[in-house]
Chain A
Amino acid sequence: MAGAAPFPEWLEVVAIRGGAGMAALAVGAIFLAATGHDPWRAYREMMIGALGSPFAIEQTIIKAIPLMLTGLGVALAFTMGLWNIGAEGQLVAGALAASWLALTASLPTLVMLPGLILLGAAGGAAWAFIPAVLKTFVGVNEIISTLMLNYIALLWVDYMVFGSWADPTAFSFPYSRPFPPQAHFPVLLGDIHIGLVLALIAALLLAGLLQRTHWGYEIRTIGASLPAARYAGMRVRRNVLLVMAASGALAGLAGVGEVSGVIHRIQQGISPGYGFTAIIVAWVARLNPWAVILVAVLFAALLNGGFVIQTAGVPAAIAYMIQALVLFLVLASEHLLRRVRRRRALSQTRAALQVGR
């Protein structure tokens, strides 16, 4: 084949991502230097803060859990060509549903924990179901509807934590009452909660579903070519509803993990944008579930590093900038490569035609 890769495809994929990551860090360094920070020191502090001690690694993994779950949810939706940009709102909806149970019901741990997980997943699924219904039955584009629902879910948290769930001892801080101990997720190691197990199981199930089942084949086909899927008699509408709900359920689980596993209450700002970072995680991972797990850990390290260097006066937003830059540069380099190859193939074809004449 003309213009074939000189090395295996997977190596190229990894190399592009590694290169994009390095280039994004370099651009970040320019911004750091331009705003009067020492980039070398900032990056070293970030590295130490994210991975330099058992505590740092623990915190990074805790931040990776919601990124894994939302990343998997987003990857599932994107695989079918559904632009679910609402993982943030679905995460929050899951957290709200779980918090309702934790704050209003007094149940033994053995009933409470499965209840939280099921209700949280259902909350996220329900929140994602709204745009799915609007898309299938009215034709509303899901990009804007899922985004609008993000803002509504976030305001709903405000409404609850300033209202009926407010902690009377928190002096109008945006916190709910703390969860009862029965509603705390068990921990595996240090403060790492069982959300990690849920995320790994979800990755396993998703990878199996997409690669080994007929339903997964349908999802991939619809994503690759809607007309082909319709021609093959696949039920697109039903799949839109199901896949959006499943995608939202995964984000909802991330929300349960945050309230039951990390902060043990619900409060304003329970997610520092996990649902948005998830979009980048999913794309950088090429929508592959196991790659999502890996990229989520790397991106969580970046987030955690950004969080840590705030104390040194460097804005934590540097982490978000770098993450978005990675995606931007991955897109740019992949398409640059594609165009270079297409041009080369075209000129070779033309040359061959000249010779044959």
Chain B
Amino acid sequence: MNQDQIVALLAVTVVTGTPLIFAAIGELLAECSGVLNLGVEGMMLVGAVSGFAVAAVTGNPWLAVLGAMAAGGALAAGHALLTVTLGTEQVTTGLSLALFGTGLSAFLGKPFIGIPNPVPFRPVPLPGLAHLPILGPVFFQQDLLVYTSYVFIILAWWWIYRTRPGLHLRACGESPETADAMGVDVTVMRYGAVIVGGALAGLGGGYLSLAYTPAWTENMTAGLGWIAIALVIFSTWNPLRLLGGAYLFGAADALGFRVQLLGVETSSILLRMLPYLFTLVVLVLINAVRRHSPVPRALGRPYFREE
């Protein structure tokens, strides 16, 4: 591999990492508030199909982004209703959401199979930064949604760890009783985090159908939603570490699809196993290395004041 090829691979890595960044920040937000939402895969798929449908019908890419986010958020609202208001078991509820989203996206997506996206997001080089050596082509000759993901990462980190509402959010995830005593409305906070989280998962899915592929195919997430959940564990609930993790996974994914373009002779099918194997290996490594994972202590526990 020469330098150009490495740069090309790294640029693809940033693209493949982007849907993971969106979905994983969303999951991180929900988990910080104390709600585990395993429905990421379903929310991403519904986001992907809704975004695509809006793009195909209106021809407006930004409306499509909104559509993807609204669809993901709507599904997440269902999760919040069950887990926060009714106190259902979060794992089971999240699984049923993942399955529902998968079915719903396939149902809604039937008429859109095989249609190209009329308004895909295309790379827009950032003036000034795009011509930096290596960093330019890797980070700053991407589409606008990739730039949005950089902003979201910094925003998420700053909001969660540097602002008062962020502190309240974490309090809901660590000890809802304390948060309640501080005057934080735990229910509102959790609803907000889960719904915004779902909107971000929807955006992650939308990135696939609006920028990455850009088309709709059934089950196009192919496990990215689950990898996003693994990524949150890997990040120790820190958005900045999540960024690095997303690109590591993105690299595994990119390798799977691009190694052959670089002239390496291997089975493409075996290479497509890479992101899944990589996820397994990473989970093993972090569990072997880290004895105490900083999981939000109230993660998975419903909170009702009167009991």
Question: Would you call B97 an interface residue if the criterion is a C-beta within 8 Å of the partner chain's C-beta atoms?
Answer: yes
Which B residues touch A145, using CB under 8 A?
280, 283
Question: Would you call B277 an interface residue if the criterion is a C-beta within 8 Å of the partner chain's C-beta atoms?
Answer: yes
Which A residues touch B279, using CB under 8 A?
144, 148
Residue of B nearest to A144 (CB): B230
Choose the segment among B103-111, B124-132, B175-183, B188-196 that binds chain A (4+ C-beta atoms closer than 8 Å). B103-111
In chain B, residues 44-103, which have Cβ atoms closer than 8 Å to a Cβ of chain A?
78, 81-82, 86-89, 91-93, 95-97, 99-100, 102-103
Which A residues touch B227, using CB under 8 A?
148
Kindly state the interface size class of chain A when it binds its partner.
35 or more
Establish whether residues A328 and B276, one from each chain, have CB atoms under 8 Å apart when the complex forms: no
Establish whether residues A148 and B280, one from each chain, have CB atoms under 8 Å apart when the complex forms: yes
Which B residues touch A317, using CB under 8 A?
103-107, 110
Residue of B nearest to A156 (CB): B273
Given contacts A159-B267, A315-B110, A336-B86, contact A321 B223 (CB under 8 A): no
Given contacts A315-B110, A320-B99, A331-B96, contact A339 B223 (CB under 8 A): no
In chain B, residues 274-307, which have Cβ atoms closer than 8 Å to a Cβ of chain A?
276-277, 279-280, 283-284, 287-288, 306-307
Q: How far is the CA of A149 from the CA of B273 in the complex (A)?
A: 9
Question: Would you call B226 an interface residue if the criterion is a C-beta within 8 Å of the partner chain's C-beta atoms?
Answer: yes
Establish whether residues A331 and B93, one from each chain, have CB atoms under 8 Å apart when the complex forms: yes
Main secondary structure of the interface of A (DSSP, over half): helix
Given contacts A140-B283, A332-B86, A335-B82, contact A320 B103 (CB under 8 A): yes
Given contacts A85-B95, A138-B288, A332-B88, contact A323 B103 (CB under 8 A): yes
Which of A141, A163, A324 sits near B96, CB closer than 8 Å?
A324
Question: Would you call A219 an interface residue if the criterion is a C-beta within 8 Å of the partner chain's C-beta atoms?
Answer: no
Question: Would you call B14 an interface residue if the criterion is a C-beta within 8 Å of the partner chain's C-beta atoms?
Answer: no
Establish whether residues A327 and B226, one from each chain, have CB atoms under 8 Å apart when the complex forms: no
Which A residues touch B99, using CB under 8 A?
276-277, 279-280, 320, 323-324, 327
Question: Would you call A35 an interface residue if the criterion is a C-beta within 8 Å of the partner chain's C-beta atoms?
Answer: yes
Question: Would you call A218 an interface residue if the criterion is a C-beta within 8 Å of the partner chain's C-beta atoms?
Answer: no
Report A75-104 CB contacts with B as 1/0, cut-off 8 Å.
000000001010000000000000000000
Which A residues touch B222, using CB under 8 A?
151
Establish whether residues B103 and A159, one from each chain, have CB atoms under 8 Å apart when the complex forms: no
Establish whether residues B269 and A159, one from each chain, have CB atoms under 8 Å apart when the complex forms: yes
In chain B, residues 210-241, which have Cβ atoms closer than 8 Å to a Cβ of chain A?
222-223, 226-227, 229-230, 233
Question: Would you call A318 an interface residue if the criterion is a C-beta within 8 Å of the partner chain's C-beta atoms?
Answer: yes
Which B residues touch A339, using CB under 8 A?
86-87
**Min C-beta distance of A83 to chain B, whole Å:** 6
> What are 6 inter-chain pairs, A to B, with CB distance below 8 A?
A143-B91, A148-B230, A152-B277, A279-B95, A321-B103, A327-B92
Closest 6 CB pairs of A and B: A320-B103, A317-B106, A324-B100, A321-B103, A335-B86, A317-B107
Chain B contact residues, CB within 8 Å of chain A = 38, 78, 81-82, 86-89, 91-93, 95-97, 99-100, 102-108, 110, 222-223, 226-227, 229-230, 233, 267, 269-270, 272-273, 276-277, 279-280, 283-284, 287-288, 306-307
